[in-house]
Amino acid sequence: MTKVAMLGTGFIGDFYTYSLHGQRSRDRVQVIYSRDESRGKAFAAKHGIPKWTTSMHEAINDPGIEVVIIGLPNNLHLEAVKQAAQAKKAVFCTKPLGCNAREAREMLEAVEKAGVMHGYMEDLVYTPKTLKALQSVRGGAIGQVTWARSRETHPGPHSDWFWNREISGGGVLLDMGCHCIEIARSYIGKDIRPVEVVCWADTLVKPIDAEDNALGWVRYENGAIGQFEVSWSFRGGMDLRDEVMGTEGTLWVNNFLRTGFEMFTAGGKGGYVAEKAETEKGWIFPVGDEVVELGYTDMFTDLFRAYENKTQPRESFYDGYVVNEIMDACYKSAKSKKWEPVKLDIWRGAEKTGPIRVTRDYDSDHILVKEETMPDGRVKLILKNKKTGKITQTEVRK
C-alpha cells in the first residue's frame, strides 16, 4: 500500500480519489488538504480518508505519507511542488504543470534538485485507447506520423476559478490545450523537437476576459504537425477525439462521446450520464467507466509502479515543462499573428530529426506516386520518371 496526501477537494481531487480507491486498488489517500475545513471534512467522510487538514504543509509532511498528489488550482502548483520537494516526498502534479514555462521550469528544477520522483498527471495520454494506439504507432502500424489532431471541447469548466485568469493563468488554451498538445506530441514522438507554432485564440461566446476558443498547429522538426482544437463553448457534451495520419495508415480515437453506448430516453430518468453531458433526455451517449476511459486508472498504475520500481513514468515534470513552453509560444503567436519559435532551453530529445518523405520504386526508372482502383475495375498508376521528373499515368488490369 502506498500512502497518499491529496491536495485539493475540487472536481479533479474527487476524480483522482475515486480512481485511487477504485476496483481492488492497494493505494490509499491518508490525508486530504483543503483550505476550507468543512470541505476537507466532507471529502474525508465521503472517501473514507482518516485525516483532513487545512495546512498544506502538514498534509505534505505527515510522516506516513509517501506520495503527494496536487489537485489544486494552477496558481498553487509551484508552491505545493516546492514544499513536497523540500519534504523529500514523491510528487504527482495535475495539468498544466505551471501557469507558464517559467513556473514549470522552476518546478522541474525543484524536484530534480531534491531527487524526488515526479509525475505529470496528463491523464488523457493514458486512456486505454491512447495507450493501445501509441503502441500500434510505435510498432509501425501507420508508418511515420505526419499529422496528429487532438480535440477537447465542452461547454466550459466546473469551478469558478477556471474563469478567473489570476488563478488559472489563462483560458481554454492553458486549461485544455495542454492535453491536446501532449497527446499529439506522444503520437508524433516525444524525441522529436517541437520547432514552432501558430495559434488562434479568441473570446467568441462567453462573457469572460480569457480566450474561450483556441486552435493551434505545432510544427515538429521532421515536418509533422500537431494540431489542437479546444473550446469552452462546444454544445453537446464533452468531445475528446484524436485523429492521426501516418504514411501507412490512419487512426481515430473517440474517448468520450461515441464509444459504443447509446441510449434514448423519453422520460429523462437515466440519472447522471457523463461528465459535461448537457442533456438527460432524447439520445444520450453515456460512458462505461469514466475513470478508466479518461485514463486515470492507467495513469495511477504507471505512476505508482514507477514510484515502487524507481523507474521513469510515462509523463514526468519534464514533459509538463515542454508543454508549457509550447503554450507560451502559442500565446505569443495568438498576439503576433505569425509563427513563433518554441524556446526550449532544456531539450532532452534527439538532436536532429530528418524529414518524413517515403518513396517507393515502381521500376528502375520510375517512382510510384499513386495506385487506385477505378469504378470499372481498371487500376490506374501514377508514375514519376526519376530522371526527367515527368509524371505520367498508366493503366493495368488486375
Query: Cα–Cα distance between 62 and 52 in angstroms, integer?
Result: 11
Give whichever of 112 and 278 is closer to its own copies, judged by the CB atom.
278
Give whichever of 26 and 113 is closer to its own copies, judged by the CB atom.
26
Closest CA to 123 of 170, 186, 60: 186
* The binder of its own copies chosen from 42, 76, 195, 382 (CB under 8 A): 382
Q: 122, 298 in Cβ contact below 8 A?
A: no
Q: Cα angle at 316 between 314 and 318, to 5 degrees?
A: 125
Provide, rounded to whole angstroms, the least separation between the CB of residue 67 and its own copies.
12
Span from 22-30, 56-64, 109-117, 345-353 in contact with its own copies (CB under 8 A): 22-30
Closest CA to 312 of 119, 113, 166: 119
Does 26 sit near its own copies (CB under 8 A)?
yes
Q: 254, 240 in Cβ contact below 8 A?
A: yes
Query: Cα–Cα distance between 214 and 331 in angstroms, integer?
Result: 10
Give whichever of 88 and 380 is closer to its own copies, judged by the CB atom.
380
In the DSSP assignment, the letter for residue 346 is: S
Does 248 sit near its own copies (CB under 8 A)?
yes
Amino acid identity at 136: S
Query: Cα–Cα distance between 96 and 100 in angstroms, integer?
Result: 9
Q: Grid coordinates in use for 393?
A: 499515368
Query: Cα–Cα distance between 218 and 341 in angstroms, integer?
Result: 10
Closest CA to 82 of 66, 95, 93, 73: 93
Give whichever of 44 and 107 is closer to its own copies, judged by the CB atom.
44
Span from 34-42, 248-256, 319-327, 345-353 in contact with its own copies (CB under 8 A): 248-256
Mask 189-208, x = binds its own copies (CB under 8 A)? ---------x-x-x-xxxxx
Give whichever of 55 and 159 is closer to its own copies, judged by the CB atom.
159
* The binder of its own copies chosen from 35, 88, 158, 343 (CB under 8 A): 158
Phi and psi based region of residue 281 (left: phi greater than 0; alpha: psi -120 to 50; beta: remaining): beta
Span from 21-29, 33-41, 61-69, 344-352 in contact with its own copies (CB under 8 A): 21-29
* The binder of its own copies chosen from 24, 310, 387, 397 (CB under 8 A): 24
Does 343 sit near its own copies (CB under 8 A)?
no
Phi, psi (deg, nearest 5) at residue 74: -55, -40
Instruction: Write out the H or E segment, with its range, that includes residue 315.
Output: none
Does 362 sit near its own copies (CB under 8 A)?
no
Q: 368, 383 in Cβ contact below 8 A?
A: yes
Sole residue written with cell 453531458: 277
Provide, rounded to whole angstroms, the least separation between the CB of residue 100 and its own copies.
21
Give whichever of 204 and 346 is closer to its own copies, judged by the CB atom.
204
Q: Grid coordinates in use for 169?
A: 493563468
In the DSSP assignment, the letter for residue 177 is: I
Does 344 sit near its own copies (CB under 8 A)?
no
Provide, rounded to whole angstroms, the least separation between the CB of residue 38 and its own copies.
14
* The binder of its own copies chosen from 43, 52, 120, 285 (CB under 8 A): 285
123-152 positions binding its own copies, by CB under 8 A = 127-129, 131-133, 135-136, 139-143, 146-147, 149
58-77 positions binding its own copies, by CB under 8 A = none
* The binder of its own copies chosen from 117, 277, 322, 342 (CB under 8 A): 277
Query: Cα–Cα distance between 336 and 278 in angstroms, integer?
Result: 36
Span from 48-56, 57-65, 108-116, 354-362 in contact with its own copies (CB under 8 A): 354-362
> Judged by CB under 8 A, how many residues of this single chain contact its own copies?
127
Q: Grid coordinates in use for 232?
A: 469552452
Amino acid identity at 295: G
Span from 30-38, 52-60, 103-111, 258-266 in contact with its own copies (CB under 8 A): 258-266
